[in-house]
Structure 1
Amino acid sequence: MIPFDQLPDNARLWSYQADRKLTATEKAWIEEVLPPFLTEWAAHGAKLNAYGAVLGDYHLILVVNEDQANASGCSIDSSVRFIKHLEKELGLSFFNRLKMLVDNGEQEFFTSYAELDKLDRDAMVYNNMVMTVGEWKHSWKVPVSDLVNN
Structure 2
Amino acid sequence: MNLDFQQYLPADFHDNSRVWIYQSSRLFSMSEAFEIEPMLNSFVADWKTHGTPVKGYANLFFGQFIVIMADETAAGVSGCSTDSSVRLIKDIEQRFKVDMFNRQNLAFILKDKVELLPLAHLNHAITNGFIKPETLYFNNLVATKQELESKWIAPANNSWLASKFAIASQG
Higher RCO (C-alpha 8 Å, min separation 6): 1
Structure 2 match to 1:74: 80
Q: Secondary structure at the match of 1:64?
A: strand
Decide which of 74, 78, 94 is 2:100's aligned counterpart.
Answer: 94
| 1:105–1:10 Cα change, 3 Å | farther
| TM superposition outliers: structure 1 runs of 4+ over 6 Å | none
> How many equivalent residue pairs?
148
Contact 1:104 1:122 in 2 (8 A): no
The aligned amino acid for 1:131 is A
Structure 2: distance between partners of 1:6 and 1:145: 31
Structure 2: distance between partners of 1:109 and 1:145: 17
TM-score, normalised relative to structure 1? 0.92
User: Deviation digits for residues 62-118 of structure 1, max 9, x if unmatched?
Assistant: 111000111100000111011101111010011010000110352221113342524
Q: State percent identity of aligned pairs.
A: 28
Give 5+ residue unaligned stretches, structure 1: none
Decide which of 106, 114, 117 is 1:108's aligned counterpart.
Answer: 114
Q: Secondary structure at the match of 2:132?
A: coil
Contact 1:22 1:58 in 2 (8 A): yes
Structure 2 match to 1:16: 22
Structure 2 match to 1:36: 42
Contact 1:105 1:123 in 2 (8 A): no
Decide which of 75, 78, 89 is 1:83's aligned counterpart.
Answer: 89
Structure 2: distance between partners of 1:36 and 1:144: 35
Offset of 1:41 from its aligned partner?
Answer: 0.7
Greater Rg, structure 1 or structure 2? 2
Contact 2:25 2:100 in 1 (8 A): yes
Structure 1 match to 2:154: 142
Contact 2:133 2:165 in 1 (8 A): no
Structure 2 match to 1:51: 57
TM-score, normalised relative to structure 2? 0.81
The aligned amino acid for 1:37 is F
